[in-house]
Structure 1
Amino acid sequence: MAEKVVLLNGSPSAYTRLNGIRDYIRAGLRGHGYEPELINIRELPAGDLMNARQSPPITRALRKVEEGDTVIILTPVYKASYSGLLKTFLDLLPQNGLSGKQVLPLAMGGTFGHLLALDYALKPVLASLGTTCIEKGVFILDQQVKKRDGLYELDRQAADRLNAALKTLFPQTSISLYS
């Protein structure tokens, strides 16, 4: 399987339910022979991000995106938009840094009132980076991801929406952790 998948996590928090979505995707893709590259933006040097310095960690992260065929972007929604941390990283990509890639935006927020943040805030930025294949995207409520015994669990409705979106990216597979 030659396709390279990159998971770009734009959460500023290490302890976020967004990790449940990330882990669900990683496990599902691994079950079908993919080994997604993970970029946790919060782990990159903050000073280099803020000052647009091309330090080795920043350069490595940008190269992973460049080499990816599919980029899955995860972000929390704050104040009706995607995270500033994600925006800072996206600003470092070249003008056509997402050209020729399939991109799936995924967002998590506290209310469905933030649902349109994908369409009105994130997708225009992705289009400006040359993305021509932006998938519909998935919005998941915070309450649809629970932590039990140290592990995250998506509720069935969220998992079904996520599986449908992943099926558009990987039509030859049926990614689902539910039996």
Structure 2
Amino acid sequence: MTARTLAVVSAGLSTPSSTRLLADRLSAASVAALRSAGDDPTVQVVELRDHARNLADNLVTGFADGTLQPVIDSVTSADGLIVVTPVFSGSYSGLFKTFFDVLPRDALAGKPVLAAATGGTARHSLALDYAVRPLLTHLRAATVPTAVFAAPEDWAGAEALRPRVERAAAELAGLVAGTRHAPDGSPDGSPVDPPLDGPFGGTPPFAQLLGQG
């Protein structure tokens, strides 16, 4: 069996938290899917509420302290990532965003990520597509196609969330099992060619454009 590591980031503020509950369900389903593929996963859960002050200190000092740095290391070194945020004011929480603000540049490049959210109404489900997914795309993460949103009514029946959770977990497990993450975002550590832009090749660096003419 191949050893795999999953990091689970929960941005819930209360205890108990529906955000953590959804994170646990996604984690359990992802572990089951990886084991079915012949992998041996271990899980590291990060409760951001426990590190709120450390994150604020990192923002103003530019450095992670001895408590926060191991958390950042566990997330950036994981083979796969599950991130779950509550939806506040129509978007991800400030605590959730702060965590990604302090990560090293390109730390999530090429990393398989499953995104999920909880909210007080199903109307907030689109926040995953117009807020969370663009954030992860900006960070160059390999976000799985299925994102999972849980509204209050989804907790009423034990089976309400299961199809979405299992589908998203299977997609994450497929990416994790088929990808060996490298810091530069390539599967095997080889250099990544810049994307081509249009029929005439890549776009020259901006500094080069400024030097022309």
What's the TM-score, normalizing by structure 1?
Answer: 0.82
> CA offset at residue 29 of structure 1?
4.4
Q: Conserved in 2, the CA contact under 8 Å of 1:29 and 1:35? A: no
Cα distance in 1 for partners of 2:31, 2:110 equals 23
SS at match of 2:115: strand
Match of 2:69 in 1: 59
Cα distance in 1 for partners of 2:121, 2:171 equals 25
> CA offset at residue 80 of structure 1?
0.8
Is 1:39 the counterpart of 2:40? The answer is no
Structure label with greater radius of gyration = 2
Match of 1:164 in 2: 167
> CA offset at residue 23 of structure 1?
2.5
Match of 1:99 in 2: 109
Match of 2:4 in 1: 3
Q: Conserved in 2, the CA contact under 8 Å of 1:110 and 1:143? A: no
Letter in 2 for 1:15: P
Note closer, same or farther for the CA distance 1:165–1:69 as it changes in structure 2 (3 Å cut).
same
Note closer, same or farther for the CA distance 1:20–1:104 as it changes in structure 2 (3 Å cut).
same
SS at match of 2:161: helix
Letter in 2 for 1:7: V
Note closer, same or farther for the CA distance 1:27–1:166 as it changes in structure 2 (3 Å cut).
closer
Match of 1:134 in 2: 143
Q: Conserved in 2, the CA contact under 8 Å of 1:37 and 1:64? A: yes
SS at match of 1:34: strand
Cα RMSD, aligned residues only: 1.9
Gaps of 5+ in 2: 176-213
What's the TM-score, normalizing by structure 2?
Answer: 0.70
Structure with higher strand content: 1
Is 1:17 the counterpart of 2:18? The answer is yes
> CA offset at residue 127 of structure 1?
1.6
Cα deviation 1:13-40 (Å, max 9, x = unaligned): 2221222222223434455342211111
Q: Conserved in 2, the CA contact under 8 Å of 1:95 and 1:130? A: no
How high is the sequence identity, in percent, across the aligned residues?
29
SS at match of 1:130: coil
Q: 2:78 aligns with which of 57, 68, 71?
A: 68
Cα distance in 1 for partners of 2:77, 2:113 equals 13
Equivalent pairs, count: 163
> CA offset at residue 171 of structure 1?
4.1
